[in-house]
Amino acid sequence: MKRSVVVTGSTSGIGLGIATAFAEAGDNIVINGFGEASAIEAAVKGLEAKGVQVLYHKADMTKPQDIADLIATAVKTFGGVDVLVNNAGVQHVAPVEEFPIEKWDQIIAINLSSAFHTMRAAIPAMKEKKAGRIINIASAHGLVASPFKSAYVAAKHGILGLTKSAALELAEFGVTVNAICPGYVLTPLVEKQIPDTAKARGISEEQVKTDVMLRLQATKEFVSIEDVAATALYLASDAAKQITGTSISIDGGWTAQ
């Protein structure tokens, strides 16, 4: 049976990769995120080409009302939310004392609070069905820190706490809640922070890749979008039904150190 899968922030990068993997598995998909109308249309068409139904919802993850509408629309269109993937995320790189207040608020809203709002809206129907999977895309930065990323690191550590708490609440309702902690994946989010990191550390952009991003990634390789998507599919599978309240690192050995 086709599942109903909602992926926040899925017009690009990891989110689009996860949406693609679930569409390839035959599930109906709700995608969300910003971007050029033509690019979003192309993403929807690409997913529909896998033979599934696809809905785009433009909810802004800083707006609780939009988020409630996203979940309500998914329930109305596809009869529920079987898999919720909280993926939307942004980054800003600056020292704490220079960190713009509005950037702090935006990162906490998108990278942490939006997952609370989607879960708050989706959980009642999951509990009623006694089934559901919630997958939060955290980061290696949910487990360890790097300098100049205070808001991101705080939000990602927070999402691991939210994951554990919700997992305990939902454990007897057939709903699992887990997080994925990827290391560096070359997506627009990462590409955009290379110039700022170079500036903050006074090094070249190439050195940011080799000396900062891949320094602790023991494999010396970036993680691929497909690696992350495959783990999301696994966490949504029946084989993962006893996995809850935990996180899976896909970081090339970064956090083993």
Contact 209, 240 (CB under 8 A): no
Order of strands across the sheet that contains 4-7? 54-57, 28-32, 4-7, 83-86, 132-137, 175-182, 247-250
Q: Name the residue nearer to ligand NAD (CB basis): 75 or 140.
A: 140
Q: Among 20-28, 123-131, 181-189, 235-243, which window interacts with ligand NAD (CB under 6 A)?
A: 181-189
The footprint of ligand NAD on residues 74-103 (CB under 6 A) is 87-90
* Residue 209 CB contacts under 8 Å (≥ 6 apart), including other chains: 194
The footprint of ligand NAD on residues 99-118 (CB under 6 A) is 110-111
Q: Which residues of 77-183 form beta strands (DSSP E)? A: 83-86, 132-137, 175-182
Out of 56, 152, 184, 234, the active site residue is 152
Q: How many residues bind ligand NAD (CB under 6 A)?
A: 29
Contact 173, 134 (CB under 8 A): no
Supply 99's token pair.
């960190």
Q: Is 184 a catalytic residue?
A: no
Residue 163 engages ligand NAD in binding (rule: CB under 6 A): no
The footprint of ligand NAD on residues 4-63 (CB under 6 A) is 9-15, 32-35, 60-62
Q: How far is the CB of 257 from ligand NAD (least distance, A)?
A: 17
Residue with tokens 């609070």: 113
Q: How far is the CB of 80 from ligand NAD (least distance, A)?
A: 22
The footprint of ligand NAD on residues 201-240 (CB under 6 A) is none
Binding residues for ligand NAD (CB under 6 A)? 9-15, 32-35, 60-62, 87-90, 110-111, 137, 139, 182, 184-185, 187-190
State the catalytic residues.
152
